[in-house]
Amino acid sequence: MKVDRDAFVACYGGVYEHSPWVAERAWDGGIAEAGDLAPVFRRIVDRTGHEAQLALLRAHPDLAGRLAVGGLTAESAAEQAGAGLDQCTEAEFAEFSALNARYVEKFGFPFIVAVRGLDRAAILEAFRKRVEGTPEEEFRTALAQVHRIAALRISEKNVHPEVPRTPVERDDLLRLIGTALARNGASAACATAVAEMTLVAEGDGAHSHGVFRIPGYIAAMKAGAIDGHAAPRFISRQGAVLRYDAMRCAAPYAYDVTLPELARLTQELGVGVLSLANVAHFQAMWPETEWLAEQGLVGFACTANLPYLAPAGGTRPVFGTNPLAFAVPGNPPVAIDMASSTMARGDIMLAAREGRSVADGVGLGPDGLPTSDPAEILKGAQLPFGGHKGSAIALMVELLAGLCGGPYSDVAEDTSKVGLPVGAVFVMALSPEALGGEGALAEAQAFVERLRKVPGVRLPGARRHINRRKPGPLMVENKILAEVRALAGLD
């Protein structure tokens, strides 16, 4: 399936602010590979001449200027909000306004900076310095910043241009997913929990853990791997450890029941551990740790799954992809979510579905030889990130989850026939105050803010939070949307 010109421009026409002509010229010039877009787009702009470049600069918004009156594109609104420019104090807003006026009067175009990885203080400091520059220097700097913004926007495009998608309002998508689940064996509580978690992942731009997962959930319920009407059963509490049997219910519903209990225990004791067995974990892991962070707690979670990952030096899958997540309170929380594999299995599945190759080093084919064909990797073995280091982390996760009730990945069976593991999850919560006293969390958050200001640094989870702030409907792949609509009885 080939993308047409209109779809290409619709996808990439906004990476240069209000300037779809860049994408149009790229298409007309025969662009074929999305991975080559940034340098191609840059060459087009660099060859247009001074007047066209000046018009491009003038198409950009004032920083912290028009946000209040809705004059920003969705991309600029999300980027400015991600840098906190929608939360300026009165004094900061006044300084931005004064600098904007002085800058435009001097140079004839607005101040432009790629705000990713910067906060308000760093942006203001750059503004103060650059307003003192010469017109020639500032024209070159502003154009370079425009190119950087465009390159970042291209890299943020999770939507592959060859995959047609449909805009769906969030509330409509939530109802659709809930209806599909309830119609196919999920209780109201289970359907609501899974639908809400799915919407979070889809809105965060994690398509491999979003709506794409719903047909799998339903297939697993029909196969009996998930019990859509089960509820977690409390087993015991020993010290700071809570044990639950999830009774093969879906993880989002299991967490609705168990995480509040874990949070209460941790607030009482300073530390708490949840040992959750027989749970169908088919989702991202950051939601559970982010939820704990929103309660003011440090969260850590990990789970093992089916044998997909070959240990370092091996060619046969033994470990699961064995993801782990970690979150610390903040605004927004710092949230790390990573598989032990080089690439998440869901992303490999999406690449196979869309007919794309993957990078070298992701996995092996059934013959044990390296391949970039995702379909062959799904039949063979994934590889750990960082060689023996990723393999060691996969082993750690395997043992933690195994101690919570397993099964260990090398003997786990895919009873769902759709790759949905029913196993165990280890979750730990910690009170920052219990760890380091009243000021410990504030010091940690101050460190994070210093790190956030380092040029070129993007904190884990930053992309998700930028996506989360974007207004408007979500773009859902047509084929997946049709599947879910059919499962909901609407087609």
Cα end-to-end distance, the chain, whole Å: 23
Catalytic option among 19, 76, 208, 416: 208
Q: Determine whether 76 is an active site residue.
A: no
Q: Which of 347, 409, 431, 465 is catalytic?
A: 347
Q: Which residues contact 234 (CB under 8 A, 6 or more apart)?
A: 242, 243, 244
Assess whether 347 carries a catalytic annotation.
Answer: yes
Q: Is 281 a catalytic residue?
A: no
Residues 6+ apart with CB under 8 A from 1: 162, 164, 355
- 20, with CB counted inside 10 A (0-12, 13-18, 19+), is middle
Q: Considering 147, 209, 281, 465, which one is annotated as catalytic?
A: 209
Q: Output phi, psi for 317, to 5 deg.
A: -65, 130
Just list the catalytic residues.
208-209, 347
